Amino acid sequence: MQYFISAIGTDSGKTLASAILVEALKADYWKPVQAGLPRDTDRVIELVGNETSKFHREAYCLNSPMSPHAAAKIDGVDISIEQMSIPDSQNTIIIEGAGGLMVPLNTKEFMIDLPVAWNTPVILVVNLYLGSINHTLLSIESLKNRNITVKGIIFNGKANPESEDIILRYSGYKVLLRIPQLDVVDRAQVKVLSIELLKHWE
């Protein structure tokens, strides 16, 4: 089984959420497109404590911290979904996207086209800030329009019950986890949150 981790935007908490999922499910991890350094793969490795998970090499590792289509142009690389394939593994794989769902990979393909091509359920990471309802509902609309299966939502950061309520009512998705605002993010904290996630997984 594979799960595609996306978010309502950049810096929403996809990498932390991915680490929690990898730890909880003892899953493998793969970031198909990395734009800029440090690598998110290295951060997930730091946060995961089990000995089962494997960490697969990126299909594209680009130098500039910007939209993949722009970073690829600088590096003289052409990103193509046809040239990417999910790593061969008997284990569950957590696939972390780059940025939000509508981040362009090239002039015709977007991040959201990856779970469509691979028929992979999405887990949507939502951080709550002024304007996040709009960004979240637009993301949900895009997922629904493409008939993409959504496993659930992970809320990240300071809670906002009113925002959460309208998002859940509109989407019909369930909450997999609420990550509180953390002062320290380390392996011990990821372990605690992974146990909490499993309570809501099925």
pLDDT tens string for the chain (202 positions)? 999 999 999 989 999 999 999 999 999 999 999 999 999 999 999 999 999 999 999 999 999 999 999 999 999 999 999 999 999 999 999 999 999 999 999 999 999 999 999 999 999 999 999 999 999 999 999 999 999 999 999 999 999 999 999 999 999 999 999 999 999 999 999 999 999 999 999 8
| Res 202: pLDDT | 86
Cβ pair 157, 132 in contact under 8 A: no
| Res 13: pLDDT | 96
Q: Which fold has domain 2-198?
A: Rossmann fold (3.40.50)
Secondary structure class of 27 (helix, strand, coil): coil
Element (H, E) at 108: none
Of the residues 31, 151, 174, 199, only one is catalytic, namely 31
Q: How far apart are CA 87 and CA 68, in angstroms?
A: 20
**What's this model's pTM, rounded to 2 decimal places?**
0.97
Is 31 catalytic? The answer is yes
Q: What is the pLDDT of residues 98-141, one digit of tens each?
A: 999 999 999 999 999 999 999 999 999 999 999 999 999 999 99
Cβ pair 94, 101 in contact under 8 A: no
Q: Which of 47, 128, 62, 148 is nearest to 98 (CA)?
A: 62
**Where does 25-134 show beta strands of DSSP type E?**
28-30, 33-35, 55-56, 60-62, 93-96, 122-127
Question: Alpha helices, DSSP H only, in the chain?
Answer: 14-25, 40-47, 68-75, 113-118, 132-145, 161-171, 187-198
Residue 62: which residues within 8 A CB-CB, separation 6 or more? 33, 34, 35, 36, 68, 71, 72, 74, 75, 77
Please give the mean pLDDT across all residues of the chain.
97
Q: What is the pLDDT of residues 189-199, one digit of tens each?
A: 999 999 999 99
Cβ pair 139, 100 in contact under 8 A: yes
| Res 93: pLDDT | 98
